Structure 1
Amino acid sequence: MNDPASQPAGAKKAISKLGEFCWDRPWPVLAGWLITVIAAALIIGAYSDRLVSGAGSIAGSQSARIDAELADTFGVRDSQALILTYSDPALNLDDDARYEFIDDIENGLLELPAVEAVFLASDVIEQPRDDKGHALIIALDTPDALGAEQQVPVIRQAIGAMLQDRAEIEWAVSGRGAISYDLTVFSVEDSARSELRALPLALLVLLYAFGALLSASLPVLLAIAARTVAFAGIVIFAGFFDISTVAQAIVTMLAIALGIDYSLFVYHRYRQVLSDAVACNPGDAHDQRRGALIEAMGQSGLVVLYSGLAVAIGMASLMMTPMMEMRSIGFGGLAAVTVSVAVALTMLPALLSLIGAKALDWPGRAKPGRGYTATSHRWCGWGRLVVRHPWIAILSSLAAVLLMAAPSLYTQSGFPDDELFPPELESVRGVQMLEEMEIKGLSAPVFVVISRSDGGAVITEQSAPKLRELRGSIEADSRIAEVSAPRLSSRPSLTPFPMSGAQSLMSESGDKILFRAIPRSDTNLFALRGLAREIPTWIDLPGVTVETGGQAQFLNDFDDGVRASYAPVLFTVLVATGLALLLMLGAPLVSFKALILNLLSVAVGYGMVVFVFQLGYGSELFGLASPTELIPSSVPVVIFAVLFGLSMDYEIFLVSRMRDIYLNCGDNERSIVEALGDTGSVISSAALIMALVFGAFAFSQIVIVQMIGLGLATAILVDALIIRAVLGPALMMVAGKWNWWPLKPHGASIAGKPSLKITSGSGSTGVVGTSAALTGQSASSSK
């Protein structure tokens, strides 16, 4: 029944054959999946520690280069250093006891292979508030920042063992590496809690939709299987290259949402075709079930394949970025969508082969096709309203969408400061102790490396005045508490012995010097990032290069890297998705319209993130005492990459149905109304489930996860209920037959009404169910 105007005949036939294969051989298929899921669970239990916690460094960035320079030339390992803060009134009053305590800690830590040195915070900063606590700097000898982050639990375990009998001492290990480690580990635990919130809510929606326990449970069980196998996949690949633990959160989020969605698409179509077949031609139940499954696979299964391709394109685009965390999100998302598609197209047909219609409707409160006639009536009625008043529908829906997207114009990009991090994190507690000691800036110094490329001395009679002026400018800045620098004079020093200090501030040859600027305790990261960009512009010396390093510069490099990826990610996703749509639909105008509508969905999701978190309207509902005032630069690109593919699900599901009906009847208006009647209920149910899954993550305790969860949940609901149900159909009504150019309908028109085709097997389906809904007749009377 395939012809040049049909969906790609080869792909449709292959998917139908796949469904037929799994239906005819259910036990081998299910046995293969059972073995895979059990093996995946064992792999996760045994090798999940392969995932790395932390952000590491950004290859090729200025911050990474300066980190290496600091370690190699000056012996400064700030990116590989931790800070032990401790407080005990007895130690504060007894210097001898405190120094004995310090000696014990130092000796114990130096036994660890990764610890290079332990020294007092007072070696690098003046006048800490000793009455509030004390701090030790633990310098690590690790290959890079990521290696240092992996030492955080080792250091904490060693200190905990040394202080197990000193319960009166309050202590915490903090620092740049510790914060990064804690956030990634906490996000994994938080995603598990979000998963536990999401699954029961999804099950309740499915129970309401189907009215039967087994029917409602199937998509959830398949989603859990997909999540397990996908997570094992990233654990296996983590043995070959670095994958961050943040991948687990995205796998959990997407595998549950997509696993339910894709299974629901195929299952919904299967029950719908089976209902029509039973009503029109009562006969052998097994043959009808088999034919319904093959029919559903040829239509909804193909939609799942193309939808999965759209999501995969978005996820793969994130792997183009230079940041390990972003690549990990892309890799995790790619694993989630791949396994979710495989589960829906193989595991589900095998299960349906073994489960009869009566069992699917147990405990008897539902009948085959429960609710389809009623929901088709309602959605067809809605469709008729939209096509009768297309311009009203376009203007009203577009106004609503643009209003929700408008806050994105006020975006202030940045990174939320540590007061927005979960207070239960040990590293955050340590930063709070540093703040009480008025040396919070110790955890985020700004390093200024000044060097000559020709190997000559940086400090000369000509350069010394300007270097002193630069140091004075930094010291006078309101964001800085104090500055450490070498002696800025070319004259010999009269000091008979070298100045004390934890590290050198000048290279042996004098071709490089270092300023260490310690921020004030009340200076936030946003202000520090600005300072890191400004300092190199404060001096102009021929042949001399000024570069900054430290946490502030790392965040600048991260933002620069993310922003640089915007264009290639956007271009890749739009072009690849557009080609996939064109291949599937064969109609340029509809494909282009789908891309535009998807961009509107992304704009809505991101606009609501800015509205709630940056501008603060409703931020208290998510546990924030105040607005973030900033949106991390990674949030919009992640929302775009994830959401663009997800929202394409509903577009493909709806438009491909319109296309089938139009090619059968040649009536654009009727195809719009009938397709809405056919797919409206499953799209709205799937969107609600997906929004609940993402909404569960919106109540996470990690602000960035909250932003992504809220953006995705809001956009999915708006996409399904406004963009696909109002704006898209109205635009198609206005475009008329040009929607499908250059395709031509092959159905005959009789007496002004479309002919209805009913076939079984893998051929083209008819529109009996929706036609019945339009005329108010039952499927059997339509026959």
Structure 2
Amino acid sequence: MSARHDGVVHRVLGRVGRACAARPRSVVTAWLLLAAAVVTAVLAYGRPVDNEVALPGSDAQVARDLVDTHLPGDDGASGQVVLHTPRGRLDDASARATVDEVAAAIADLPHVTAVTPPSAEQGTLSGDGRTGYLTVDLDLSPREVDRRLARQVDTAADPARAAGMDTTLGGALAAAADRGDSRVSEVVGLLVAAVVLVLAFGGIVAAGLPIVTALLTLACAVGTVGLAGHLAGVPGVAATLATMIGLGVGIDYALFVVTRHRELLAGGLPVVAAVEQSMAGSGSAVVFAGGTVVIALGGLAVAGVPILTTLAWSTGLTVVVAVAGSVTLLPALLALLGARIDTWRVRRVAAVHDGSAWSRRADRVTAHPWRYATAATLLLGLLAAPALGLRPGQTDGGDAPAGSASRQSFDLLAAGFGPGVNGPLTVVVPLDPPAAGPADPRLAAVRDGLAALPGVASVAPARPSPDGAIAMVRVTPDTAPSDPATADLVATVRDARPGGLTVHVGGVVATKADLTDRIVDRMPSVIALVVGLSTVLLYLAFRAPVVAVKAAVMNLVSIGAAYGALTAVFGWGWGAPLIGLDGPVPIESYVPMMLFALLFGLSMDYEVFLLTAVREAWQRGADNRTAVRTGLAATGRVITSAAFIMVVVFASFVLHDDPVIKMFGLGMAVAIAVDATVVRGFLVPATMALLGRANWWHPGRGGRVPPVG
């Protein structure tokens, strides 16, 4: 990017800031109306979620498409009511009467199309007769099953509880009943963020601006993501992840702008001029920082995994809206407040000066760069070391919180039928010529061939489609869905050719196994693309290739620490009870790749703000070490405050019941904490001090960055 183009970015944002400051009430009103419209739409139409995993081009998707084509009635949602009697059998006369009463009550509920009681013939009654489940067929898609319907079904099962039976929901009904929200995490994160902002700014009014901006933009973004669930499949984790990121970046971006604005006001500038200059400087940094996050998320498109694409656009939308709020809504609020931004002060905050703690740290790091670079590298290597044992997998109901419907049904079914019943494989057999009926000898040969495979607990009779073009066989493994042996069985079945026929394996377990394979295969391409695009963007921002490449390497180091924490806590179970888990939990296969894109983008935020301050000192004529020292001293306090807020926001989501949300929260909290302390506080300034003028080298420039604008 040329100096002229770089200046254009600053000038445009300065003009945007001045325009918003000139009409502050109109801008604020527009944002309020937009937020009100989105929230009203969400309240009226809801936020449906769809946790079904599609994977075009995979064998599991082929199986699913064949079933949808030839057995179209199988696409509705179904749930279960799991029953366990501590005495007798469920098919005894008295127990059967109770079960029939429950089935009749459930059948009368809206959206219920059929209720099938447990029976040995259907394979829904355990061998000892003490555990079974009613199958509840619905005229809804899985994403349309809500908590209200789940509660109605659960209430209809009260006669079974009154008869002394253990009763819980299973399948889609359990997922709906357990569908929680992130309100507790949001409240905890906001409260701590408010305290940190008050301490950073010294006043309640100034501290409130980032929170107000973040909440308004978050309502618009997350509400839009929720409404998108009516048009496309949006998993439940998408809105929670968008909330997590939206709160973090929304507060952080506003924090940087407000900090710069107050400094300019303290220097004697009029309010509108201070708004214009703060937007031209910090506003430009916000746009570049947000751009790196969006670009990093955009790199997930090459993975060819729909769930990652959905998480990428939903989270990216939240970041875009947060940036828009920081460069339009925030300037308007700053103009409305004017000099009153420093009212309601609770403490005095000293400006950065030569005697500050960050100045002293900058002096030590730049005076002894080898010492600090070596120590930081060793520490980061130690934190990242567990990542060598990272093994992606898939979670199941056994990893859900104790007491949840998903966990209770998983445990009851596993005890009564074996762990594999919670993750059956759907084997689809194309038939040419079509089968004439269930007596086709090929169907018996397929069933016998599958039953003989190691790792198979049972095989249900083959079910031909009405046109005879396919047969569907339910295979129950010996092992739980999260057990790697179950994924191995998927591959074994596909290679077996039972009865001499080609088979396709579908179902949740097979789809997630294919998802894991694809992610492992595409991960190097995604990393290369994200690193490459982000490096180019940094080069365009700072026009210094060494700085751009070094920043990319530093971000990889922070991500390594996050992967190490994931492996140690979730893979090995270190400290798992402290975050509400019983022990080790498989790391969901898409989490590492999504974390990589998020963290690479978020880590660039602090890199951009630090390097912007260093470059400004360098452009004013300071030598390299002085520029590094000045930049670190000027940004250390605000970066630390911003990082602490983001760490708390992310860490608060560890309180969520969903293990996958815990993974995202912990991984991002660790990475940001490491990035803002060890990496930005020691490793970056130490390496910049060591590189000297090479930091700003560019062919044909004589070693100095031309002035901006």
Structure 1 partner of 2:562: 605
Query: 2 CA distance for matches of 1:301 and 1:130?
Result: 68
Q: Is the 8 A contact 1:297 1:345 kept in 2?
A: yes
TM-score, with structure 1 as normaliser: 0.81
Q: Give 1:429's match in structure 2, choosing from 408, 433, 436.
A: 408
1:363 pairs, out of 318, 326, 345, with: 345
Aligned-pair Cα RMSD in Å: 3.5
Q: Which residue pairs with 1:345 in the alignment?
A: 327
Q: What do residues 76-131 of structure 1 show as CA deviations (whole Å, max 9, x unaligned)?
A: 94984422212467984883344444444555555655635625342233871556
CA–CA separation in structure 2 for the residues paired with 1:121 and 1:552: 25
- 1:779 maps to what in 2? none
Contact 2:296–2:533 (8 Å) recurs in 1: no
AA aligned opposite 1:65: V
Identity %: 27
Change (3 A) 1:57 1:150: farther
Selected match of 2:631 from 662, 675, 687: 675
Partners of 1:599 and 1:93 lie apart in 2 by 57
Q: Structure 1 residues 393 and 551 mapped into 2: Cα distance closer, same or farther (>3 Å)?
A: same
Distance 1:647 1:379 in 2: 20
Q: 2-side partners of 1:583 and 1:604: how far apart?
A: 28
Report matched runs for 1:483-562 at 5 Å: 483-485=459-461, 504-506=462-464, 513-520=471-478, 525-539=483-497, 544-562=501-519
More deviation in 619-628 or 520-529?
A: 520-529
Equivalent position of 2:457 in the other structure: 481
2-structure distance, mates of 1:603, 1:153: 39
Letter aligned with residue 51 of structure 1 = P
The corresponding residue for 1:391 is 370
| Residue of 168, 173, 189 corresponding to 2:162 | 168
The Cα of 1:374 is off from its aligned counterpart by 4.9
Q: Could you tell me which of 126, 132, 135 is aligned with 2:130? A: 132
Asked whether 1:207 is paired with 2:198, we answer yes
Q: State the 1:537 CA deviation.
A: 2.9
Change (3 A) 1:99 1:68: farther
Whether 1:246 and 2:237 are equivalent positions in the alignment is yes
Cα deviation for residue 199 of structure 1 reads 0.6
Deviations 1:17-44 (A, max 9, x none): 1111122222222222222233233223
> Which protein has the larger Cα radius of gyration, Structure 1 or Structure 2?
1
User: What is the CA distance between 1:698 and its match in structure 2?
Assistant: 2.3
Aligned equivalents of 2:672 and 2:382: distance in 1? 16
For 2:617 and 2:363, how far apart are their aligned partners in 1?
16
Secondary structure of the residue aligned to 1:134 is strand
The answer to whether structure 1 residue 622 and structure 2 residue 546 are counterparts is no
Q: Is the 8 A contact 2:90 2:96 kept in 1?
A: no
Partner amino acid for 2:564? G
Which digits, 9 at most, give the CA deviation of each residue in 1:472-509, with x for residues without a partner? 533xx3x4433334xxxxxxxxxxxxxxxxxx534678
Whole-angstrom distance in 2 between the partners of 1:455 and 1:98: 43
Q: 1:333 aligns with which of 315, 318, 336?
A: 315
Shift of residue 315 of structure 1? 2.8
Equivalent residue number for residue 255 of structure 1: 246
- Structure 2 CA distance, aligned partners of 1:578 and 1:587? 10
Choose the corresponding residue for 2:652, options 681, 687, 696: 696
Q: Would you say how many aligned residue pairs link Structure 1 and Structure 2?
A: 704
Q: CA deviation at 1:510?
A: 7.1
Determine the C-alpha separation between the residues in 2 that align with 1:352 and 1:274. 11
Structure 1 residues 62 and 262, CA, compared in 2 at 3 Å: closer, same or farther?
same
Q: Which amino acid is the alignment partner of residue 7 of structure 2? A: A
Q: State the distance in 2 between where 1:290 and 1:149 align.
A: 49
Shift of 1:711: 1.0
Return the match for 1:150 from 144, 159, 167.
144
Tell me the amino acid that sits aligned with residue 452 of structure 2: S
> In the superposition, relative to structure 1, how do residues 458 and 99 fare at CA in structure 2: closer, same or farther (>3 Å)?
closer
TM-score (norm 2): 0.89
Kept in 1: contact 2:446–2:499 (CA 8 A): no
The equivalent of 1:734 in structure 2 is: 690
Between the aligned partners of 1:179 and 1:531, the Cα distance in structure 2 is 26
Q: 1:113 to 1:384 in 2, by over 3 A?
A: closer
Q: Which amino acid aligns with 2:659?
A: V
Q: By how many angstroms is 1:300 displaced?
A: 0.9
Change (3 A) 1:734 1:508: same
Structure 2 counterpart of 1:31: 29
Asked if 1 retains the 8 angstrom alpha-carbon contact of 2:24 and 2:335, the reply is yes
Aligned residue type for 2:487: R
Q: Which residue of 2 aligns with 1:652?
A: 608
Instruction: Tell me the alpha carbon deviations over residues 678-734 of structure 1, each in whole angstroms, 9 at most, x when there is no partner.
Output: 111111111111111111112322211111111111111111111112111222222
Q: Which amino acid aligns with 2:696?
A: W
- 2-structure distance, mates of 1:130, 1:179: 24
User: Alpha-carbon deviation of 1:233?
Assistant: 2.1
User: How far, CA to CA, are the matches of 1:540 and 1:437 in structure 2?
Assistant: 28
The equivalent of 2:678 in structure 1 is 722
2:393 to 396, 401, 414: 414
TM-superposed deviation, 1:62: 2.5
What's the offset of the Cα at 1:158?
A: 5.0
What amino acid maps onto 1:172 in structure 2? T
Q: Which residue of 2 aligns with 1:222?
A: 213
Amino acid at match of 1:677: A
Q: Secondary structure at the match of 1:535?
A: helix
Look up the equivalent residue of 1:222 and give its one-letter code.
Answer: T
Equivalent of residue 380 in structure 2, options 385, 390, 401:
401
In structure 1, C-alpha distance between the alignment counterparts of 2:285 and 2:265, rounded to whole Å: 19
Counterpart amino acid of residue 169 in structure 2: V
Give the Cα separation in 1 of the matches to 2:569 and 2:162: 42
Three-state SS of the structure 1 residue aligned to 2:503 is strand
CA distance in 2 between partners of 1:452 and 1:304 (Å): 59
Structure 1 stretch displaced more, 424-433 or 408-417: 424-433
Following superposition, the deviation at residue 14 of structure 1 comes to: 0.3
Q: How does 1:573-584 map to 2 (within 5 A)?
A: 573-584=530-541
Q: Deviations over 1:263-282 (max 9, x none)?
A: 1111111222333x24xxxx
Given that 1:594 and 1:651 are in contact with CA atoms closer than 8 Å, whether structure 2 keeps it comes out as yes
Q: 1:228 to 1:609 in 2, by over 3 A?
A: same
Amino acid of the structure 2 residue aligned with 1:214: V
Equivalent of residue 301 in structure 1, options 273, 283, 287 = 283
Shift in alpha-carbon separation, 1:7–1:656, aligned structure 2, 3 A = farther
**Distance of 2:547 and 2:689 partners within structure 1:** 12
User: Aligned equivalents of 1:197 and 1:656: distance in 2?
Assistant: 32
- Aligned counterpart, 1:40: 38
Q: What secondary structure does 1:617 align onto?
A: coil
Q: Distance in 1 between matches of 2:605 and 2:19?
A: 25
Distance 1:510 1:166, change over 3 A: closer
1-side partners of 2:552 and 2:95: how far apart? 65
Per-residue Cα deviation, 1:494-541 (whole angstroms, up to 9, x for no partner): xxxxxxxxxx53467877555433234778543322211222334587
Distance 1:217 1:206 in 2: 8
Give the letter aligned to residue 388 of structure 1: A
Does the C-alpha gap of structure 1 residues 70 and 431 become closer, same or farther in structure 2, counting only changes over 3 Å?
A: same
Report the Cα distance in structure 2 between the residues aligned to 1:9 and 1:211, rounded to whole angstroms. 33
Residue 312 (structure 1) aligns with: 294
CA distance in structure 2 between the aligned counterparts of 1:203 and 1:537, rounded to whole angstroms? 58
Question: Paired residue for 1:9?
Answer: 7
How far the C-alpha of 1:71 sits from its partner, in A, is 6.6
Deviation at 1:305, TM superposition (A): 0.5
What is the SS of the residue equivalent to 1:86? strand
CA contact (8 A) 2:48 2:143 kept: no
Secondary structure in 2 matching 1:173: strand
Amino acid at match of 2:689: M
Gaps of 5+ in 1: 279-286, 486-503, 749-756, 758-762, 765-783
Distance between the aligned counterparts of 2:688 and 2:662, measured in 1? 35
Which amino acid in structure 2 is aligned with residue 387 of structure 1? Answer: T
SS at match of 2:211: helix
